[in-house]
Amino acid sequence: MASTERLYFADPFLHRFTGRVVAHAAWNGTPSIILDRTAFYPEAGGQMADRGVLGGAAVRDVQVDDAGLVHHVLELPEGGALPAVGTELPGEIDRVRRRLHMALHTGQHMLSRALVDVANAHTVSSRLGETLCTIDVDLDVLEEQKVAEAEAFVNAVIEEDVAIRAFFPTSEELAALPLRRKPKVTENIRVVQIDGFDVSPCGGTHCTRSAQVGMIRVLGVERYKGKGRVSFSAGRRARSELWAEAGTLRGLGRAFTCGPGEVPASIDKLRRELTEAREALGAARARLAEHTAAELVSALEQSPEHRVVAVVDGASPESLRAIAARLTSRPEAVVLLAGQGPEGLPVLIARGSGASFGCGAFLKRLAEAAGGRGGGRPEHAEGRLPLGTDFPALVASLLG
């Protein structure tokens, strides 16, 4: 069987075609059909497969095997049969998806070229994903300033609207071309040439002029598995991302009652105010802990067991720790404290350095009796009891 004729090689903007079913096959165990010719791009070279409709059925996946046969996997109703061999089928490519892939793939070639020229960073792999595109280069550290320069370089070439040609050169023509990387195949080598800028072997779908890319946008630079990784977007996807981010910025401007350009300054002011508020809250909590501990000292002093049991209204676990720290500075002290909150009673049990009370074991008994949870060490334990628990009465019943 001859390999499938790929119509997108000659015209990446071809969205409608007819093809004849020449065989039934399977891809990874799923039934597929082979056409004599197709405009559907099969997943390859880091580029995702096309989607669309073939003979009235949605195309779920498109793949190519080692023999060059393109497998079309269709969405068929339960019990539905594949179109018969010999049937002529009309096909229609998802234009929006194809157009995006053209911009992303061409943008990847251009950004890879610019990274070589600006940062001497050579692409070792690339991936054009559903939500994120990446380029991995042979440098473990990429300077963000260099990547920004490469981005600007690419966008300048996009604005120049240079011609882009995809063709199958003769062996003599191929030998004379300044390829950015070596071909991965030895026969039927296809080349994508961006006039005056980049020449690379590639079988993907590409724009025919650089302005069709629209724009290239670097999203991030990081170190990934010992290589430098650049995340990027282009075309419709880049515009959509920018529009969404601009909408978020405008929303922040409305929230801060300022213009979008003043949002960073407003955020800095809010951070300063939050830091000051946290510091003031910390100081207030410290004063409250001191005051509460002072009130509980007398109860501790009057207890023959050097023990204090108390419920501190509104106390958080942090507040209970601060109070307990002041009380357990007395070596013989045993402190059993609870707070009150919407999610239950935070509980803390602690002892001074000279006491022998088993805090963790007692909290476990408390939790089992009340249906709560918690644990800890002999000298310190924390947990939470259900709302409505009568903490002093429960402690008294367990202490006997």
For residues 232 and 226, give the distance between their C-alpha atoms in angstroms, rounded to a whole number: 19
- 207 shares a domain with 162: yes
pLDDT at 259 over 80: yes
- 104 shares a domain with 87: no
For residues 351 and 366, give the distance between their C-alpha atoms in angstroms, rounded to a whole number: 16
- 213 shares a domain with 121: yes
Q: Has residue 80 been placed in a domain? A: yes
pLDDT band at 186 (very low <50, low <70, confident <90, very high): confident
pLDDT at 113 over 80: yes
Q: Has residue 253 been placed in a domain? A: no
Question: What's the pLDDT score for residue 146?
Answer: 97
For residues 349 and 340, give the distance between their C-alpha atoms in angstroms, rounded to a whole number: 15
Question: What's the pLDDT score for residue 252?
Answer: 94
Q: Has residue 192 been placed in a domain? A: yes
Q: What is the mean pLDDT of residues 334-355?
A: 93
- 146 shares a domain with 79: no
Q: What is the mean pLDDT of residues 116-132?
A: 95
Cβ-in-10-Å burial (0-12, 13-18, 19+) of 343 comes to: exposed
Q: What is the mean pLDDT of residues 319-329?
A: 93
Q: For 285-294, 305-314, 331-340, which range has the lowest pLDDT when averaged over its residues?
A: 285-294
pLDDT band at 145 (very low <50, low <70, confident <90, very high): very high
DSSP calls for 267-320 = HHHHHHHHHHHHHHHHHHHHHHHHHHHHHHHHHHHH-TT-EEEEE-TT--HHHH
pLDDT at 1 over 80: no
262-284 pLDDT, tens digit per residue, is 999 999 999 999 999 999 988 88
Q: Has residue 311 been placed in a domain? A: yes
The larger pLDDT score, comparing residue 203 to residue 1, is at 203
Question: What's the pLDDT score for residue 284?
Answer: 87
Q: What is the mean pLDDT of residues 347-356?
A: 96
Average pLDDT, the chain: 94
Closest residue by Cα to residue 52 from 38, 69, 34: 38
162-185 pLDDT, tens digit per residue, is 999 999 999 999 999 999 999 988
For residues 78 and 236, give the distance between their C-alpha atoms in angstroms, rounded to a whole number: 36
Within 10 A of 394 (CB to CB), how many other CB atoms are there? 18
Q: What is the mean pLDDT of residues 327-332?
A: 94
- Tokens standing for residue 46: 């880091």
Question: What's the pLDDT score for residue 107?
Answer: 97
pLDDT band at 13 (very low <50, low <70, confident <90, very high): very high
Question: What's the pLDDT score for residue 78?
Answer: 85
Q: Has residue 368 been placed in a domain? A: yes
Q: Has residue 278 been placed in a domain? A: no
The pTM for the full model equals 0.75
Question: What's the pLDDT score for residue 288?
Answer: 84
pLDDT band at 92 (very low <50, low <70, confident <90, very high): very high
Three-state secondary structure along 21-74? Answer: EEEEEEECCEEEEEECEECCCCCECCECCCCEEECCEEEEEEEECCCCCEEEEE
Burial 296-324, CB ≥16 within 10 A → b, else e: beeebeeeeebbbbbbbeebebebbbbbb
| Helical axes 263-302 vs 317-327, angle rounded to 10° | 40
Q: Has residue 386 been placed in a domain? A: yes
- 387 shares a domain with 297: yes
User: By residue range, what is the domain housing residue 45?
Assistant: 5-93
Q: What's 2's DSSP letter?
A: P
Count up the domains in the chain and report the number.
3
pLDDT at 346 over 80: yes
- 309 shares a domain with 213: no
Question: What's the pLDDT score for residue 313?
Answer: 85
Question: What's the pLDDT score for residue 229?
Answer: 96
Q: Has residue 257 been placed in a domain? A: no
- 214 shares a domain with 115: yes
